[in-house]
Amino acid sequence: DSGVTQTPKHLITATGQRVTLRCSPRSGDLSVYWYQQSLDQGLQFLIHYYNGEERAKGNILERFSAQQFPDLHSELNLSSLELGDSALYFCASRGGDSAGYTQYFGPGTRLTVL
Amino acid sequence: QQPVQSPQAVILREGEDAVINCSSSKALYSVHWYRQKHGEAPVFLMILLKGGEQKGHEKISASFNEKKQQSSLYLTASQLSYSGTYFCGTETGNTPLVFGKGTRLSVIA
Nearest to A103 among B93, B95, B97 (CB): B97
Does the distance separating the beta carbons of B44 and A104 come in below 8 Å? yes
- Specify the pairing of strand B18-23 against strand A44-50: unpaired
Nearest to A42 among B29, B95, B101 (CB): B101
Provide DSSP, B18-74: EEEEEE-SS--SEEEEEEE-TTS--EEEEEEETT-PPEEETTEEEEEETTTTEEEEE
pLDDT higher at B8 or A2: B8
Tens digit of each residue's pLDDT (9 = 90 or more) over A4-33: 999 999 999 999 999 999 999 999 899 999
pLDDT at B12 over 70: yes
- How far is Cα B102 from Cα A61, in angstroms, rounded to an integer? 23
Does the distance separating the beta carbons of B47 and A100 come in below 8 Å? yes
Report the share of chain A in percent with pLDDT over 70.
96
Does the distance separating the beta carbons of B98 and A2 come in below 8 Å? no
- Residue B80 phi, psi dihedral angles, 5° rounding: -55, -35
